[in-house]
Amino acid sequence: MAELTWRAHGGARRSTRAWRVRTSAVLVAAVVLAVLVVPPLAHLDEQAVDLAAKLQPPSWTHPFGTDDVGRDLLLRCVYGLRVSLVVGVVAAVVATVIGTTVGALAGAVGGWTDRVVMRLVDVFSSVPHLLLGIFIVAMFRPGVWPVVVSVALTHWLSTARIVRAEVLSLRSRPYIDAAVSAGSSRRRIAVRHLVPGVLPQAALAAVLMVPHAVWHESALSFLGLGLPAHQASLGTLVQSARGSLLAGGWWPTLFPGLFIIVPTLAIAGRAWRERLNPRRRSELML
C-alpha cells in the first residue's frame, strides 16, 4: 500500500513538472515569436506619434492602449522586449565566458592562484550588483553596449563559483588520476577533461542569467542610466509611464511590467532548472 501511494505521489509530481515545462515552453515560444516575427511582419513604426489617440485605454484597435503621445503600446512592448532580450542574452553569454574562464583557472591551477582569484570574487560579490552597475554605466553615454558591459561585469561571479566547484569535483574523479598517471600535462587535462565537464553547468548558468540581465537592464533604464529615453526597452517604457500613471493611465505601466515579469519567469522557472540540470534529471529518473 505504501509503495502504491509512493508511486501515485511520484506520478503526480512528474505530471506537475511536465505541465510546468509545457507552460514555460509555450510562453518562451510566444516570446520568440513576438520578438522575431511580429515586428518584421507588422511594417509599423513603434515611434509613430498620433496625438489624437494619446493615452487611450486598451481596445480592439490598440489591445494594450496607447501612451501619452499616442504610440501603440503593444508594438512598443514587443520592440522593447526584443531590445531587452538582446541585451540580456549578449550580456549573459559574455558573463558566462568570463565566469567559466576564471572559475576553471582557479579550480584547475589551485594553490595561491585559487586563493587570490576567489578572494577577488569575494570582494566583487560584497558590492551590490545594481550599485556597481550604476558606477560602470555612469562612465559612458547611455546606450546598449554600456549596459551590456555593466551587466556582464556584475554577473560573472556566481558562474565562477559554480565552475570552480565543478572543476574541483572533477579533479577527484578516477579518470583524472589515470590521465595524470599516464603523463598528461596539466593543460591537456584541463582542455580535454575539465573544461568539457563544466560546459553543462556553464550553459545552465547562462540560461538562468538571462532573466537577471533583463531585470538589470530594466532597472538601469528606469533610473535613466541605461538605454536612451527615445529607444524602446522594457525599462524605458516603465520609466516614461510614470507621468501617465499620475494622469490615471494604468496601462502604460502595467503591460511593460508584465512583459518584464512573465517571460523572464518562464525562462528562469523551476521547471527549466530541473530540465536543464543534468544532475537533477538523473535524480528525477530514479
Q: Chain-centre distance of CA 180, in angstroms?
A: 38
Indicate if the pLDDT at residue 286 is higher than 50: no
Indicate if the pLDDT at residue 5 is higher than 70: no
3-state secondary structure of 158: helix
Q: Chain-centre distance of CA 146, in angstroms?
A: 17
What's this model's pTM, rounded to 2 decimal places? Answer: 0.77
Q: Which of 167, 153, 147, 193 is nearest to 104 (CA)?
A: 167
Q: Which of 14-23, 29-38, 214-223, 244-253 has the highest mean pLDDT?
A: 214-223
Indicate if the pLDDT at residue 246 is higher than 80: no
Between the alpha carbon of residue 150 and those of residues 25, 37, 88, 132, 216, the distances in Å are: 29, 29, 11, 8, 9
Q: Which of 209, 268, 258, 265 is nearest to 78 (CA)?
A: 258
In the structure grid, which three cell numbers stand for residue 107, read together?
579550480
Lowest average pLDDT, out of 6-10, 33-37, 96-100, 145-149, goes to 6-10
Between the alpha carbon of residue 63 and those of residues 76, 77, 117, 275, the distances in Å are: 12, 11, 51, 34
Q: Which of 221, 235, 257, 36 is nearest to 147 (CA)?
A: 221
Cα–Cα dist 20/284, whole Å? 15
Residue spans of the domains in the chain: they are 31-38+66-285
Query: Which residues neighbour 70 within 8 Å (Cβ) at sequence distance 6 or greater?
Result: 49, 50, 51, 52, 53, 54, 55, 56
CATH no. of 31-38+66-285:
1.10.3720.10
pLDDT in tens, 37-94: 655 555 555 666 777 778 888 888 888 888 877 788 888 888 888 888 888 889 989 9
Indicate if the pLDDT at residue 279 is higher than 70: no
pLDDT in tens, 127-172: 888 888 888 888 888 788 888 888 888 888 888 888 888 888 887 7
Neighbours of 96 (CB within 10 A): 23
